[in-house]
Amino acid sequence: MAFRSRIYATSRGSSIDAVGNGRYLVCNASYCFMVHGLRQAHDAVKRQEASPS
């Protein structure tokens, strides 16, 4: 992954990084996964933040 730009981060440690070609890396303190589209990335962060830790 040559290109990576942080575009969103929460106080609970979740983040979204743009990696190019409409793909986004969604991370929390434990793991990261790739999604296609900013809407899917934001939805994934919402689910992570809503789930009990």
**Mean pLDDT in residue range 9-28:** 95
The string of pLDDT tens digits covering residues 21-41 is 999 999 998 999 999 999 999
Give pLDDT, residue 38.
96
H or E segment and range at residue 32: strand 32-36
The upper half-sphere exposure of residue 1, i.e. CA atoms within 13 Å in the direction of its Cβ, equals: 11
CA-angle at 16, arms to 39 and 12, nearest 5°: 110
Question: Taking the alpha carbons of 6, 25, 53, 51 in that order, is the dihedral positive or negative?
Answer: positive
pTM of the model: 0.87
Three-state DSSP at 25 gives strand
